[in-house]
Amino acid sequence: MKKYIAKRILMSLLTLFLIIFVLFLLIRIMPGDPFSVERMSAEMILQKREELGLNKPVLVQFVDYLKLLASGSFGNGTALYNGAPIKPILMKCLETSFKIGGLSIIFGSVVGLLIGIVAALNRGKFLDGLCTVVSILGVCIPSYVFMIFLQYSFAHKIPFFPYFFDPSQYLFSSIMPALSLSLFSISTIARFTRNEMVEVMNSDYVKLAEAKGLYGFQLIRTHVLRNALIPIVTVIAPLVVDLLTGAMVIEKIYGISGAGKLMVDAISGQGIDYNYVLALGIVFSSMYIAVMLLLDILYGIIDPRIRLTTKEG
């Protein structure tokens, strides 16, 4: 088991390293200079390039960047916010996004699971249809449209929530954006849960358990849900990362200074800021890899078969 985990961690680190390299290369081969050349003479441009180390070979630049990362910094911006250090700004934005994203994941999985379970237990009946409609609606309506609707109805018509995100009422004003963000995960999880549950309920071992006299909640709890949950975790994991990156428009509508907005600023603010794009890319990629790693290890623990096949392969 330990060997399996060690191997997985090693692989993930390698992947992360490759990703940083690819991102770095992509951004370095971009045409143009990563700073604004407005009102700059050729000499000044040359000097600035020297300052930023852009005259060195790309590989040397890459090693420099790795050193920078190792020292726990992302360097300074190239265009955005006049070259202020990236880290504090990035951290603050990530914190906001994490809180809202976290809330929406909790919301999405709880509601999604409930809807899925209810639908599976009432298969073919009215409730099932209702749940199907709800889950399909979630895939059909863009989350920002839902956000607009929520903002209009529950912050304007019925002024219960603050109309804009208010950092002094963090959790309270996170509810609406979290709700609209979770819409997509609710429907994905609900659909998936329902199908998994139905499949498990039709399986022989559940029939056997039924034959032995188990019924109702006990049956669902001990036999159905546990086995249905394993694949469901697979859907939830990538959603986690999607949620954090997909909040761009919602952040714009609700006035949240989060990671999505930072990304938009980095590509369309005062000039494309290569270092912000790089930093955000690295952060999101490592998050994705971390989630996947966690998932793999979890699987390995839950289901020995996976561990063994990986060893063979």
Residues 192-221 that bind another protein (CB under 8 A): 195, 198-199, 202, 220-221
To which H or E segment does residue 16 belong?
helix 2-28
Which one of the spans 52-60, 203-211, 259-267, 297-305 is the region binding another protein (CB under 8 A)? Answer: 259-267
Report the nearest approach of another protein to the CB of residue 7 (Å).
Answer: 14
Contacts to another protein from residues 102-121, by CB under 8 A? 106-107, 110, 113-114
Whose Cβ is closer to another protein: residue 199's or residue 302's? 199
Strand partners, 85: 76
CA 249 to chain centre: 15
| 165 touches another protein (CB under 8 A) | yes
| 245 touches another protein (CB under 8 A) | yes
State which of residues 104, 256, 275, 300 lies at the interface with another protein (CB under 8 A). Answer: 256
> What does the CA dihedral 231, 234, 236, 239 come to, rounded to 10 degrees?
-150
Report the nearest approach of another protein to the CB of residue 19 (Å).
Answer: 6
- Which amino acid is present at 101? G
In terms of residues, how long is the chain? 313
Which one of the spans 55-63, 65-73, 248-256, 297-305 is the region binding another protein (CB under 8 A)? Answer: 248-256
| 40 touches another protein (CB under 8 A) | yes
State which of residues 121, 271, 296, 300 lies at the interface with another protein (CB under 8 A). Answer: 271
Report the nearest approach of another protein to the CB of residue 284 (Å).
Answer: 4
Please, is 61 exposed, middle or buried when counting C-beta atoms within 10 Å of its C-beta (0-12, 13-18, 19+)?
middle
| 305 touches another protein (CB under 8 A) | no
Q: Which two tokens stand for residue 66?
A: 């790795």
Distances (CA, A) of 52 to 23, 31, 45, 86, 209: 18, 16, 11, 15, 68
The 59-98 contact track toward another protein, x by CB under 8 A, reads -----------------x--xxxxxxx--xx--xx-----
Report the nearest approach of another protein to the CB of residue 22 (Å).
Answer: 6
| 241 touches another protein (CB under 8 A) | yes
The 3-32 contact track toward another protein, x by CB under 8 A, reads ------------xx-xx--xx--xx--xx-
| 58 touches another protein (CB under 8 A) | no
CB 112 within 8 A of CB 235: no
> How many chain residues touch another protein (CB under 8 A)?
102
State which of residues 1, 13, 60, 140 lies at the interface with another protein (CB under 8 A). Answer: 140
State which of residues 280, 296, 300, 307 lies at the interface with another protein (CB under 8 A). Answer: 280
- Which amino acid is present at 304? P
Which one of the spans 53-61, 66-74, 247-255, 295-303 is the region binding another protein (CB under 8 A)? Answer: 247-255
Q: Which two tokens stand for residue 268?
A: 């369309």
CA 168 to chain centre: 25
Residue with tokens 């039924």: 210
CB 14 within 8 A of CB 285: no
CB 176 within 8 A of CB 254: yes
Per-position DSSP letters for 130-166, written without gaps between them = HHHHHHHHHHHS-HHHHHHHHHIIIIIISTTS-SS--
| 183 touches another protein (CB under 8 A) | no
Report the nearest approach of another protein to the CB of residue 298 (Å).
Answer: 16
Orientation of helix 126-140 relative to helix 170-201, angle to 10°: 130
